[in-house]
Amino acid sequence: MSAVLEGPLRDLNAWKPDECSIAKALDVVGTRSALLILREAIYGTTRFDGFAARVGITDAAAAAALRKLTVAGLLRKQPYQEEGKRTRHEYALTDMGRDLLPVVLALWQWGDKYLQDGVPPLERVEDSTGAPIQVEIRSAAGNEVSLESLRIRRNENWQRKSSAESASET
């Protein structure tokens, strides 16, 4: 089974997903290093050395990934200085980075279900109750949405915006 594509999207050969939000997101966070750095930022890691060591990557790879995530707006650099040492930077999640929490948790949940042998090593729980948390797909009305009941259609607002931008370029 699959999602239901509406209107001109029904014929997969008639259109190309040129403006695909998934592809754009993967351009930013589509590497193992980027996702693991985001995991570490969620865990509370803030300093360069901590990211490199905990993710298990070289300093060069950590620098490149942190720079990319910072330029993209998911992390922000904040200066700090230990007594007698030069000013350095630590990294904190921005609102944009925090909005990726459901994505990271969904990937974690999937890994627990399909890639762990038996009981996973960590649990995700609500702080105030200790109750397990899970990521679900729900409509704005609160209904659970399965793949078979998912509809995908063109966004009329995007079409109008795109048409207006094209007209202004000519």
DSSP symbols for 111-133: HHHHHSSSS-S---B-TTT--B-
Its pTM stands at 0.86
Cα–Cα distance measured from residue 32 to residue 65, given in angstroms and rounded to the nearest whole number:
10
pLDDT score at 118: 86
pLDDT score for 170: 65
Is residue 59 assigned to a domain?
yes
> Which residue has 């351009």 as its token pair?
27
Q: Among 42, 37, 69, 31, which Cα is nearest to 54's?
A: 37
Q: What percent of the chain has pLDDT over 90?
A: 83
Number of domains in the chain: 1
Average of per-residue pLDDT across 21-37: 96
> Average per-residue pLDDT in the chain?
94
Tell whether the model's pLDDT for residue 169 goes beyond 80.
no
Structural domain of residue 38, as residue ranges?
Answer: 31-94
| Contact status, residue 38 vs residue 44, Cβ threshold 8 Å | no
| DSSP letter (8 states) at residue 31 | S
Domain with 46 in it: what CATH number?
1.10.10.10
| pLDDT tens profile 49-103 | 999 999 999 999 999 999 999 999 999 999 999 999 999 999 999 999 999 999 9
